[in-house]
Amino acid sequence: MRAFYFDDIPGDQRLLHDSGIPVSDEILKSTGLLHWHIPTSQQNQIDTVAKERSYRNRDIITITKDGLGDLYEAKLKSFYEEHMHEDEEIRYILEGSGFFDIREHPSDSWIRCQVDAGDLLVLPAGIYHRFTLDENNMIKALRLFKDEPKWTPFKRDSSTDVNPYRVDYLKGLAVN
C-alpha cells in the first residue's frame, strides 16, 4: 500500500490525485489506520489476523461494471461520499486495485491509500473516509466483520460529528 496526500484537483476520482507528498506509516498509525501486505498466495495468514482481532464473519465483494450493471455508477458515487461506520472497516484486496481516502485529524486533509492485491486495511470505527476504484475499474476484496456482516455508512454531517463512535474515535486519537 502506498499513501500520500490527495491533491484536491477537480477531476475523475479514479485518477491518482497524488500531491507528491507521501504519508509515512507513523502518520497513518496516528489516524488509527492499520495495514499489512499479505501476498494472496499466503491467504491463510488472514485467518491469524482475523483470530487476533476477533473477526468472526467474512464475505467477498467484487466491484466491476459488468458485475454491478446499471447500479455501477450509483454504487461508485455512494462509496465516494464521505462517511463513517460504527464498526471497523476491514478489507483484504484479492484482485484489482483502488483507493481508500481517509480524513486526517485535525487538519481535515485527505490521505489517499492506494491498495492492490495482498493489501489488508483496517479503518477504525468513526474515521471519515471514502472509497473509489482506480482506472482499472475492478476490485475484489474479502470483507471481515466482528459480528454479522453489515455495512452501514453514515454520511458526514453535524449528526455524525457527535455520533458516539466518532466521539470515541477522536478521544482515542487524543490519548495517542
Q: In order of start, what are the domains of the chain with their CATH numbers?
A: 2-175 (2.60.120.10)
Q: What is the DSSP letter of 46?
A: H
Does residue 95 register a pLDDT over 80? yes
To the question of whether residue 85 is assigned a binding role by annotation, the answer is: yes
To the question of whether residue 89 is assigned a binding role by annotation, the answer is: yes
Distances (CA, A) of 13 to 25, 62, 165, 169: 24, 19, 27, 27
Q: What does pLDDT average to over the chain?
A: 95
To the question of whether residue 37 is assigned a binding role by annotation, the answer is: no
d(CA 113, CA 129): 11
User: Which of 4, 29, 52 lies closest to 121, judged by CA?
Assistant: 29
Cα-to-chain-centroid distance, residue 54? 19
Q: How confident is the model at residue 78, as a pLDDT?
A: 94
Contact 136, 150 (CB under 8 A): no
Write out pLDDT tens, residues 125-170. Answer: 999 999 999 999 999 999 999 988 777 999 999 999 999 999 999 9
Does residue 51 register a pLDDT over 70? yes
How do 18-22 and 119-123 pair as beta strands? unpaired
Q: How confident is the model at residue 149, as a pLDDT?
A: 76
Contact 40, 140 (CB under 8 A): no
Does residue 45 register a pLDDT over 90? yes
Residue 176 — pLDDT band, cuts 50, 70, 90? low
Q: What is the pTM of this model?
A: 0.95
Looking at the chain, the whole-number percentage of residues with pLDDT higher than 70 is: 99
Does residue 70 register a pLDDT over 90? yes
Residue with cell 482506472: 135
Tell me the average pLDDT across 108-120: 98
> How many C-alpha atoms does 163 have within 13 Å on its Cβ side?
21
- Of 7-16, 20-29, 145-154, minimum mean pLDDT range: 145-154
d(CA 137, CA 124): 26
Does residue 175 register a pLDDT over 80? no
